[in-house]
DNA sequence: CATGAATGAGTGTTCATTCAT
DNA sequence: AATGAATGAACACTCATTCAT
C-alpha cells in the first residue's frame, strides 16, 4: 500500500531527501548511498531519475531560480523608483521563505556551488537584482547598503533561528531592516 | 638554494597553501595530495607536521580566533555604551581584513565547518560578540540590525570584490554601514 | 564461461580466498588488494559484499561458531557425567576437522583475534565448553587436564601435519589422548 | 637524573617495551612510533640501536633460545630414559616461566613468526626437544601425548591466567600433567 | 522502474625506513 | 647517542558512475 502510493513520485522523494541532506551536511559530504538508503532504494535507482549527482542539485535549483527570474523580469519592467525597490525586497522575502532549506544550503555551501555550473547563473541573478535596487553612481556606502540588504535577507533567517520568537515576526523584522537599508541608499542625496 | 631556504618553514608553507586552496575550492574538495603536490613534498610529509587534515584547518583558525578572543575580552570589560559597540566593530573590521582569506573560507564553507570541532567554538564567539553589541530586550528589528551589522562585515568584503574601488575605501564603507546599523539599534528608544 | 559461472558466487569465493590467505599469512598481513587480485576483481568489489575487512573474518567465523553453539547447547542439556564429556570431545573433534583451516588460523593469530570483536565471543565459547567438561572444585591438576584436552585438540591436528600417517588416524589419536585426559580428570577421587 | 641513569641502557629499555607491546598487541600491530613514544625518544633513535623492526624481535628471541639450546644440548647428552624426559620438562617449565611474556607472544603470533627468519629456527628447536622425549616408533597416540605435553606447557600458563590460584601452584600443576603424559607415552609397551 | 554487481579513481592515514645534522 | 624532516609504498575504505538483467 505504502509502496503503491509511492509509485511515480520517486523523483520527488529523491529531491526532498536531497534538499534535506544537502542542507544539513553539505553537498560534498552527502553521498548518493546515503540518499538511496534513506529512500530504501538502491543507488542505481537514483540514476534512473537523474543523470548525475550534480543533476539532482540542479533540479533543486530550478524550483528556486524560476521565482527569482520572474522577480527580476518584473523588476526590470518597473521604473527605478524607491517603491519598486521596496516591493522587490518584499517579494524576495516571500520567495526566500518558501525555499528556505535550499537557501540555507546555498548560504552555507557557496564554495561548492561556485564550482558548479549553477554557481555562475546564481551569481548573475544576484547581480541583476542588485542592478535593480542599486544605483551604480551612488556613494560606496550606499552601494554597500544595498548589498547588505540582500545579504541580510539571506543570512537573517538562518542566523536568527536560535533566537526566540515567531518565524513570521522575524521575517518581517529582517525585511524591515532590509527595506530601511535600501531606502536610505536611495534617498541619500549624492553629488558624484 | 630554494630547497635550502625552505628548511624549517615547511609547516608555515603548508598552512599558506592550505588557506589558499581551502578558500578557493572548499575544504572537502581540497585533497592532501593537492596540497602536497603544490609544495613538492609527499603527502606523508604533511603528516609529520599535522596529525590530521582537520588539524591543518584548526591550526589556521588559531591565528583567527586569538584576535577575536582578545576583542571579546576587551569588549566585556567595557561599559555597554554605544561607543564600545562602535569601537568593537572598528577593531573587528581590522581583524577581518588581516585574516581575509580565512574569513572568505569560513563564509563559504559554513556547512563543512559546522560539522567540525571548530564550528561550535566559532559560533560561540559570534554569539559573544553579539552579546556585546546587542540588547536582548530591544525590539526584534533592532536585534536584526546588530546581526546584520556583523554579517555585513563578514560578507561585505568578499561580495564587493568585483566592484571597482580601493579595498581600503570599501572596508571603510562597509564599516560605516555596520556602525550605522548598530547605532540605530542602540539609540532606538524602545518600550518593551 | 568461467566468468559466467562465477555470477552470484562471488561472496563465497571471497570467503574461500580469505580463509586461505588469512590462514597462510595471518589476518594483518593479508591485504584486501591481495584477496581482490586473486579473485581478479577490484578491491571495491569486496566492499559490495562485505562492509569491512573485519566483516569478512566475522563471516568466516559464523560457519565455525554455529556448530560450537549447538555443541554447547547440547552439552548443557546433558547430565554432567563422564559419558557426556567424552561425547562432547568426540563431536568437537569432528567439528574441528570440518573447519580445519579456520582453526589453524585461530590457533596462529590469537593476538590479532583477541583485539577483534570476535575474540571475546570465542573465548566465551571456550569457557562454556570447559564448564561442561571441568569440575570447578577438582584439584588444580585435573582442571589443567581438561584445559589441556581442549588445547591438545586445537593444536594437535596442525602440529602433527609434518608427521607421516593418515589424517584420520591422527585425528583419532588426538581424540584418544584428549578423552583420556578428561576421563582421568573426572574419575580422580578428590577430597577438596 | 632520571635521564642520567638511563644513559647506556636504552637498548635494554627498547627491548623491554617491545616485549611488552608485542605480547600485548602482536608484532604487526605494534608500530615503532608506539615503542618510541613510550620511551620518549624518536623513532630514529630506535634505528641507532637496531637495524630493523625485525631485528628488535630477533634480539628478544636470543634471550629465549639460548636456554633452549642449552637444554637441548643437555638432553642429547643424556640416555633416552624416562628420567631424562621428566627432567627436561622440569627444566623447560622453569625456562618458560622466566621468559613468560615472550612465550605468550610466540604462542599468540605463530602466523607472524612463521614468516620471519626466526620461525624456522624455533620450529627446529621444538622438533629437537620432541626428539628427546618422543619415540618415533611408538604408537601414534603416544606421540600425540608428547606433543601435547609440550603444547600444554606453552599454552597452560596463559590459558590459566583467569583461573584463581597461585601462579607457582599452577605451574606445578601444568608440569605434573605434562610429565604424566610423557611418562605414559614412555612406559606404554608397544609392539610396532 | 529498479536492482545486483562491479569498477576506477580517489581519499585520508600509517608504516618502516633513511639521512643530514 | 639521538633528532628533525622527510619519503615511498602500502593500507582500508568511499565515491560517483555503469550496465546487463
CA angle A147, A153, A156 (to 5 degrees): 120
| Residue D168 buriedness (CB in 10 A; 0-12 / 13-18 / 19+) | exposed
Do D105 and D131 lie in one domain? The reply is yes
* D136-153 per-position pLDDT tens digit: 899 999 999 999 999 899
Residue with cell 587534515: B53
For residue B4, the model assigns a pLDDT of 43
Q: Is the pLDDT of residue C122 over 90?
A: no
Check B114 against A108: CB less than 8 A apart.
yes
Query: B with A: 3 or more CB pairs under 8 Å?
Result: yes
For residue D31, the model assigns a pLDDT of 97
Residue pairs between chains C and D whose CB atoms are closer than 8 Å: 116
Check A152 against B148: CB less than 8 A apart.
yes
Residue D81 lies in a domain: yes
Structural domains in chain A (count) = 2
For residue D191, the model assigns a pLDDT of 53
In the 21-40 segment of chain D, residues within 7 Å (Cβ) of strand E are 30-34
Residue A158 lies in a domain: yes
For residue D141, the model assigns a pLDDT of 93
For residue A188, the model assigns a pLDDT of 67
> How far is Cα C107 from Cα C103, in angstroms, rounded to an integer?
6
Q: How many residues does chain D have?
A: 192
Q: Which residue has the higher pLDDT, A62 or D33?
A: D33
Query: pLDDT band at residue C4, thresholds of 50, 70 and 90?
Result: very low
Please report, in tens digits, the pLDDT of each residue of chain A (192 residues total): 444 445 568 999 999 999 999 999 999 999 999 999 999 999 999 999 999 999 999 999 887 788 889 999 999 999 999 999 999 999 999 998 888 888 888 888 888 888 887 877 788 888 899 999 998 889 999 999 999 999 899 888 777 877 788 889 999 999 999 999 999 998 866 554
Residue A84 lies in a domain: yes
Q: Is the CB of A37 under 7 A from strand F?
A: no
Domain with C21, as residue range(s), is: 9-49
- For the CA of A76 and the C1' of F17, the distance in angstroms is 43
List the single range of A104-108, A171-175, C79-83, C90-94 with lowest mean pLDDT: A104-108
Check A108 against B107: CB less than 8 A apart.
no
For residue A56, the model assigns a pLDDT of 95
Do D22 and D72 lie in one domain? The reply is no
Write out chain A residues lying below 8 Å of B123, CB-based. none
Query: pLDDT band at residue D1, thresholds of 50, 70 and 90?
Result: very low
> How far is Cα B12 from Cα B34, in angstroms, rounded to an integer?
16
Do A45 and A84 lie in one domain? The reply is no
Q: Is the pLDDT of residue D16 over 50?
A: yes
Cell digits for B110? 559554513
DSSP state of D165: S
Helix axis angle for D82-98 and D167-187, nearest 10°, is 150
Do D146 and D123 lie in one domain? The reply is yes
> How far is Cα C127 from Cα C72, in angstroms, rounded to an integer?
10
For residue A3, the model assigns a pLDDT of 47
Q: Is the CB of D51 under 7 A from strand E?
A: yes
- For the CA of C31 and the C1' of F12, the distance in angstroms is 9
Q: Name the nearest CA neighbour of C110 among D35, D147, D103, D146.
A: D103
Do C133 and C179 lie in one domain? The reply is yes
Give one word for B8, left, alpha or beta, with left for phi > 0 and alpha for psi -120 to 50: left
Q: What CATH number corresponds to the domain at position C80? A: 1.10.357
Cell digits for C12? 563465497
CB contact at 8 A, D105 and D19: yes
Burial readout A147-185 (b: 16 or more C-beta within 10 A, e: otherwise): bbbbbbbbbbbbbbeeeeeeeeebbebbbbbbbbbbbbb
> How far is Cα C130 from Cα A102, in angstroms, rounded to an integer?
62
Do B172 and B114 lie in one domain? The reply is yes
Q: Which residue is closest to D168 within chain C, CA to CA?
A: C140
User: In three state form, how does the secondary structure of chain C look?
Assistant: CHHHHHCCCHHHHHHHHHHHHHHHHCCCCCCHHHHHHHHCCCHHHHHHHCCCHHHHHHHHHHHHHHHHHHHHHHHHCCCCCHHHHHHHHHHHHHHHHHCHHHHHHHHHCHHHHHHCHHHHHHHHHHHHHHHHHCCCCCCHHHHHHHHHHHHHHHHHHHHCCCCCCCHHHHHHHHHHHHHHHHHHHHHCCCCC
Q: Name the nearest CA neighbour of A92 among A81, A103, A105.
A: A103
Q: CB under 8 Å to C78, separation ≥6 — which residues?
A: C84, C87
Please report, in tens digits, the pLDDT of each residue of chain B (192 residues total): 444 445 579 999 999 999 999 999 999 999 999 999 999 999 999 999 999 999 999 999 888 888 899 999 999 999 999 999 999 999 999 999 888 888 888 888 888 888 888 888 888 888 899 999 999 889 999 999 999 999 899 888 777 877 788 889 999 999 999 999 999 998 866 554
Q: Is the CB of C58 under 7 A from strand F?
A: no
Cα dihedral B103, B105, B111, B113 sign: negative
> How far is Cα C21 from Cα C101, in angstroms, rounded to an integer?
10
Q: Is the CB of C45 under 7 A from strand E?
A: yes
Do C130 and C44 lie in one domain? The reply is no
Q: Name the nearest CA neighbour of B86 among B189, B190, B181.
A: B181
Residue A99 lies in a domain: yes
**Half-sphere exposure of residue A7, counting CA atoms within 13 Å on the CB side?**
3
> How far is Cα C118 from Cα C120, in angstroms, rounded to an integer?
6
Cell digits for A170? 522575524
Q: Name the nearest CA neighbour of A94 among A41, A18, A168.
A: A168
Do C111 and C168 lie in one domain? The reply is yes
For residue B122, the model assigns a pLDDT of 82
* D75-126 per-position pLDDT tens digit: 999 999 999 999 999 999 999 988 888 888 888 888 888 888 787 788 888 8
First to last CA, chain A: 69
Q: Is the pLDDT of residue C1 over 50?
A: no
Q: Is the pLDDT of residue C189 over 80?
A: no
Q: What share of chain A is helix, strand, coil (3-state, %, to 5)?
A: 80, 0, 20
Do A122 and A74 lie in one domain? The reply is yes
Q: CB under 8 Å to A100, separation ≥6 — which residues?
A: A157
User: Which chain A residues have any C-beta within 8 angstroms of a chain B C-beta?
Assistant: 23, 25-29, 105, 107-112, 114-115, 139-141, 143-145, 147-148, 151-152, 155-156, 159-160, 163, 165, 169-170, 173-174, 176-177, 181
> How far is Cα A132 from Cα A72, in angstroms, rounded to an integer?
8
Residues D157-164 have a mean pLDDT of 78
Which one of A34, A54, A148 would you mutate to disrupt binding with B, by most B Cβ within 10 Å of its Cβ? A148
For residue C17, the model assigns a pLDDT of 97
In the 2-31 segment of chain C, residues within 7 Å (Cβ) of strand E are 6-8, 10
Do C39 and C126 lie in one domain? The reply is no
Residue A2 lies in a domain: no
Q: What CATH number corresponds to the domain at position A22? A: 1.10.10.60
Count of C-beta atoms within a 10 Å radius of residue A8: 8
In the 23-42 segment of chain A, residues within 7 Å (Cβ) of strand E are 41-42
Q: Is the CB of B47 under 7 A from strand E?
A: yes
Residue B29 lies in a domain: yes
Q: Which residue has the higher pLDDT, B110 or C72?
A: C72
Residue A4 lies in a domain: no
- 3-class SS of residue A192: coil
Do C21 and C77 lie in one domain? The reply is no
**Among candidates C151, C159, C165 on the partner chain, residue whose Cβ is nearest the Cβ of D159:** C151
Do A23 and A109 lie in one domain? The reply is no
For residue A110, the model assigns a pLDDT of 85
* A108-133 per-position pLDDT tens digit: 888 888 888 787 778 888 889 999 99
Alpha-carbon distance D104 to nearest alpha carbon in chain C (angstroms) = 9
Check A156 against B147: CB less than 8 A apart.
yes
Amino acid at each position: 500500500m505504502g509502496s503503491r502510493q509511492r509509485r511515480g513520485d520517486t523523483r520527488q522523494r529523491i529531491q526532498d531527501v536531497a534538499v534535506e541532506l544537502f542542507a544539513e551536511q553539505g553537498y560534498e559530504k552527502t553521498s548518493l548511498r546515503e540518499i538511496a538508503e534513506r529512500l530504501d532504494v538502491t543507488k542505481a535507482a537514483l540514476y534512473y531519475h537523474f543523470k548525475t549527482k550534480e543533476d539532482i542539485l540542479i533540479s533543486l535549483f530550478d524550483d528556486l531560480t524560476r521565482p527569482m527570474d520572474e522577480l527580476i523580469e518584473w523588476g526590470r519592467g518597473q521604473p527605478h523608483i524607491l517603491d519598486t525597490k521596496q516591493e522587490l525586497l518584499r517579494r524576495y522575502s516571500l520567495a526566500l521563505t518558501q525555499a528556505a532549506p535550499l537557501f540555507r544550503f546555498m548560504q552555507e555551501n557557496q564554495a561548492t556551488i561556485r564550482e558548479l555550473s549553477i554557481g555562475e547563473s546564481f551569481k548573475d541573478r544576484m547581480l541583476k537584482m542588485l542592478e535593480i535596487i542599486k544605483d551604480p553612481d551612488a556613494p560606496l556606502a550606499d552601494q554597500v547598503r544595498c548589498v547588505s540588504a540582500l545579504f541580510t535577507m539571506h543570512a537573517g533567517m538562518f542566523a536568527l533561528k536560535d533566537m526566540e520568537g515567531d518565524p513570521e515576526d522575524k521575517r518581517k523584522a529582517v525585511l524591515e531592516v532590509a527595506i530601511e537599508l535600501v531606502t536610505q541608499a536611495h534617498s541619500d542625496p549624492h553629488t558624484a
